[in-house]
Structure 1
Amino acid sequence: MASVVRMPAALAGVTEAAIQTWIAKPGQQLAVGDLLAEIETEKAVVEYATEVAGTVGRLLVDEGDSIEVGAPIAVILAAGEGEDAIGPALTAAGAAAPERLEPAEPAAAEPASAEAVAPAVVATPPTEVSVASPPSGASAARLVASPIVRRLARERGIDLAALTGTGPGGRIVRRDLDGIPAAAATAPVATAPSSAPPPTPATAAAGTPEKLTGMRKAIARRLTESKTTVPHFYVTAHCRVDRLLALRAQVNEAAPRKVSVNDFVLKAVAGALVDVPAANAIWGGDHILRFTGADIAVAVAVEGGLLTPVLRGVDSLSLVDVSAAVAELAERARAGRLQQHELEGGSFSVSNLGMYGVDDFSAILNPPQSGILAVSAAKQQPVVDDGVLAVGTVMTVTLSADHRVIDGAVAAEWMTAFVRRIENPVSALL
């Protein structure tokens, strides 16, 4: 029987996605695992492979079209079936033709039902993002844009309908947006002065509603779920980092690239996870999954939200390698070029707001990870050394832990190991 393939949830929390490229074509024979399409979300570009064998009967979505998760995107015919099997397959699956999402109002939908065919995920290097231009005579409201291009245009105040694409077939691509200054795109229209008296101020300031981006919706949904369903508890420590800052200065005099305080923090977190393996685990519902290596997610602020790419095997990387890897991940995160697998996995996260000068904060866990370390600014404070009052540089850190996985004593043991490593920073070089 013919199978209806639906738009899957490519990443956690994603409610819409776009077909960037159809890899399979109508009439093409497919085996299980053959690539079907490249699908783009606001966070990544991924390849999808079919889980059923057969012939591509019909592609229901045009390249560049953004549609809801769960909407049908293709029909795959079984052996011996023809075009006449497509209609009954769509009817049996309760699937209507997918509705394209307008760029100004991205829609949200629940994940597809279990009867839908969800292709498997295969990581792919990010490619140039393109947007399908509207057909001749089409209205501006029918302009179709991929999630990443729509997000960038929305954040910069750029009207996509006013652009001429430079991509294949006249498509609008990311470089078309990059050439337009945000200020020029949102410049106010001059008006003639009015002799009317100024309006009387309202007793309360009126707010301006702002539409939620897909990323903001995902953040709201996942963190609300985390805070309401995961039993958080917190452990705070104050670390002396004078020796760390002195060692960092020495390393940066000779290293091929500059290293940051956060690079030392990541190495200390990884070392503490190795020292206290009971903390290097995640909740699995009916089991606890334990790890040996240290895969750590790094919080990266991007336009309109936050991404947490995962740095693999931090315990086995040199300090300089950590610095290079974090910089590369952060750069691609801000450009919207992360791959799906780079946003998945890991048992632990680090969120560093020290560059903003904050004294102390607590972070919300990033499920299914069981720990996240909130790192504040390193500041000079009064300290006591062997009964003598002195001035030292102190950095406050707070561990948020999942009590289903990590007990208080384990959290305290992990924090002790972290402080020991951060206050003896030469361990990051070993």
Structure 2
Amino acid sequence: MAKLIKMPEIAANATSAVIVQWSRKEGEAIKAGECLAEIETDKAVIEYDADSNGVLGKILAAAGQEVEVGAPIAVLFEEGETQVDIAALLAAAGVAVEPPPAAGTTASAIATATAATTTGAAEPEREPDAAASGRIFASPLARRLAQERGLALAGMTGSGPHGRIVRRDVEAAAQAAPATAADATAAAGSDATPPAIAIPIPSASAAQGSAAFTDIPHSGMRRTIARRLSESKASIPHFYLSADCRMDRLLALRAEINAAGTRKISVNDFIVKAVAAALQSVPDMNVSWTEAALRKYQQADISVAVSTEGGLITPVVRNAGGKTLSAISREIVDLAARARSGALAPNEYQGGSFTVSNLGMFGVREFSAIINPPQAAILAVGATLSQPVVVDGQLAVAQVMKVTLSVDHRAVDGALAAQWLAAFQRCIENPLSALI
């Protein structure tokens, strides 16, 4: 029996996602576990696999279209089915549809005549031809990408259904735009006006004497970051503790390991391991606040803040306390690379119990980080710098790293946070203790 395929909730709390492309065409067979479509969330592009065997009978949402979670995106036929009343399927799912075609219509004809009318899956096959109507038909994703790149949709040829402009058309135009602009200017002479699609136009206020500016539309990822951090800072009672960590022993051990091993270990790898060891030593710190209860985690899943072109993302090193330093290093390198390419799966950046944010490589001495909800703490790590210290009453020079712990006061009290920070400091200053 045919069934509807609905937009899944790829990321937690997501309300919509964008279909990047379909991996099968209408009428093509697919097996359970095979990729049916690529779906873009605010942080990554995910392969959506079929959960059963069948034939992709009808696509209800075109590539490039933004669809609400739970809205129908396709119909999966059973192998050998020839008569499918898609209107009845949609009606049974509570989706308003047009009256069904006359009895006896074939499955393909019914599929062509029927489309979902919800906000998320809005009749991709029923748009009039763009050239005939004079309107520009483009998917929401294509419009956003065109805005971000300063491109005019009017100059593009759509390759989607009925001339609809989709993501690949915008990307092709973006690659061609610089060369086109340069060729046109050279051909027309120095007085030629460059094509409008290549140059963002400043606002009227800029032309009237104020500082020039260009508005860059927010990406979905940037909006998500803004929303989550605003909610965190406004709703979580933060408090902060700082400590100076002597790094001389750790740097010496790191140099020894890197000289003997084939894999280079970073200071950040040691920090993640030390955070996990401190959470094992002070397990009451490995918690998060919920309205119903204090949630205590059984293992240290450490989120590591990674800066990408689109914004900050926090892939998770699962059970960092049970992994070797080299295993943590390999995992962080792999997660960071895939985070920057947008290839992380949701389970790889969701569900950590504690976050590490390290800006030391940028020369930042110290900073305070905003808690990554629903976690209860985040450690902000600064640069390791040479500083004067007193050792046995004598002035000396040491390598010192300042860290600042941001804590959710609903879940953790000051004394407990101070106990955890002291444990972390001991692990950093005596790194072998964290490795044993």
Taking a change above 3 Å as real, the CA distance of residues 298 and 186 of structure 1, as seen in their structure-2 partners, is farther
Aligned to 1:229: 235
What amino acid is aligned across from residue 235 of structure 2 in structure 1? T
Taking a change above 3 Å as real, the CA distance of residues 188 and 279 of structure 1, as seen in their structure-2 partners, is farther
Residues of 2 paired with 1:140 and 1:67: CA distance?
A: 22
1:44 matched to 2:44? The reply is yes
Structure 1 residue 43 displacement after superposition: 1.8
**Contact 1:14/1:218 (CA < 8 Å) preserved in 2?**
no
User: 201-210 or 372-381, which moves further after superposition?
Assistant: 201-210
Residues of 1 paired with 2:176 and 2:394: CA distance?
A: 56
Taking a change above 3 Å as real, the CA distance of residues 385 and 158 of structure 1, as seen in their structure-2 partners, is farther
Aligned to 2:394: 388
Aligned to 1:246: 252
What amino acid is aligned across from residue 65 of structure 1 in structure 2? Q
**Contact 1:17/1:39 (CA < 8 Å) preserved in 2?**
yes
Residues of 1 paired with 2:392 and 2:180: CA distance?
A: 61
Aligned to 1:21: 22
- Listed one character per residue, the Cα deviations across residues 231-267 of structure 1 (whole Å, up to 9, x for unaligned) are 1111111111011111111110012210111001000
Of residues 78, 81, 85, the one that matches 1:82 is 85
Structure 1 residue 184 displacement after superposition: 6.2
Show the 5 A alignment for 1:350-429.
350-429=356-435
Residues of 1 paired with 2:141 and 2:343: CA distance?
A: 13
What amino acid is aligned across from residue 241 of structure 1 in structure 2? M
Of residues 290, 295, 303, the one that matches 1:297 is 303
Of residues 265, 282, 294, the one that matches 2:288 is 282
Q: Secondary structure at the match of 1:142?
A: coil
1:66 matched to 2:87? The reply is no
Of residues 229, 254, 267, the one that matches 1:261 is 267
Any stretches of 5+ residues in structure 1 without a counterpart?
102-134, 166-170, 195-199
Taking a change above 3 Å as real, the CA distance of residues 7 and 193 of structure 1, as seen in their structure-2 partners, is closer
**Contact 1:67/1:99 (CA < 8 Å) preserved in 2?**
yes
RMSD: 4.6
Aligned to 2:278: 272
Taking a change above 3 Å as real, the CA distance of residues 314 and 189 of structure 1, as seen in their structure-2 partners, is farther
User: 270-279 or 311-320, which moves further after superposition?
Assistant: 311-320
Residues of 1 paired with 2:372 and 2:177: CA distance?
A: 32
Q: Which has the higher contact order (CA 8 A, sep 6+)?
A: 1
What amino acid is aligned across from residue 369 of structure 2 in structure 1? A
- Listed one character per residue, the Cα deviations across residues 116-161 of structure 1 (whole Å, up to 9, x for unaligned) are xxxxxxxxxxxxxxxxxxx9969894344868x976x876778897
Show the 5 A alignment for 1:112-151.
141-144=136-139
**Contact 1:226/1:366 (CA < 8 Å) preserved in 2?**
yes
Taking a change above 3 Å as real, the CA distance of residues 69 and 207 of structure 1, as seen in their structure-2 partners, is farther
**Contact 2:42/2:224 (CA < 8 Å) preserved in 1?**
no
Q: Secondary structure at the match of 1:248?
A: helix
Aligned to 2:112: none
Structure 1 residue 384 displacement after superposition: 0.9
Structure 1 residue 404 displacement after superposition: 1.6
Q: Secondary structure at the match of 1:337?
A: coil
Residues of 2 paired with 1:223 and 1:267: CA distance?
A: 26
- Listed one character per residue, the Cα deviations across residues 201-248 of structure 1 (whole Å, up to 9, x for unaligned) are 966424322210001000000111111111111111111101111111
1:339 matched to 2:317? The reply is no
Higher helix fraction (1 or 2): 2
- Listed one character per residue, the Cα deviations across residues 155-200 of structure 1 (whole Å, up to 9, x for unaligned) are 67788976999xxxxx9769x77x9599769979855399xxxxx9
**Contact 1:281/1:347 (CA < 8 Å) preserved in 2?**
yes
Structure 1 residue 368 displacement after superposition: 0.7
**Contact 2:355/2:379 (CA < 8 Å) preserved in 1?**
yes
Residues of 2 paired with 1:411 and 1:263: CA distance?
A: 22
Structure 1 residue 37 displacement after superposition: 5.4
Residues of 2 paired with 1:185 and 1:227: CA distance?
A: 46
Show the 5 A alignment for 1:151-166.
none
Taking a change above 3 Å as real, the CA distance of residues 158 and 29 of structure 1, as seen in their structure-2 partners, is closer
Structure 1 residue 59 displacement after superposition: 4.0
Structure 1 residue 407 displacement after superposition: 1.0
**TM-score between the two structures when normalised by the length of structure 2:** 0.72
Structure 1 residue 429 displacement after superposition: 3.2
Structure 1 residue 44 displacement after superposition: 2.5
Structure 1 residue 67 displacement after superposition: 3.3
Residues of 2 paired with 1:265 and 1:48: CA distance?
A: 35
Structure 1 residue 21 displacement after superposition: 3.1
Taking a change above 3 Å as real, the CA distance of residues 27 and 317 of structure 1, as seen in their structure-2 partners, is closer
Residues of 2 paired with 1:82 and 1:164: CA distance?
A: 31
Q: Secondary structure at the match of 2:299?
A: coil
Aligned to 1:126: none
1:192 matched to 2:152? The reply is no
Aligned to 1:311: 317
Taking a change above 3 Å as real, the CA distance of residues 189 and 317 of structure 1, as seen in their structure-2 partners, is farther
What amino acid is aligned across from residue 272 of structure 2 in structure 1? L
Residues of 1 paired with 2:177 and 2:184: CA distance?
A: 15
**TM-score between the two structures when normalised by the length of structure 1:** 0.73
Query: Which protein is bigger by CA-based radius of gyration?
Result: 2
**Contact 1:57/1:82 (CA < 8 Å) preserved in 2?**
no
Structure 1 residue 274 displacement after superposition: 0.3
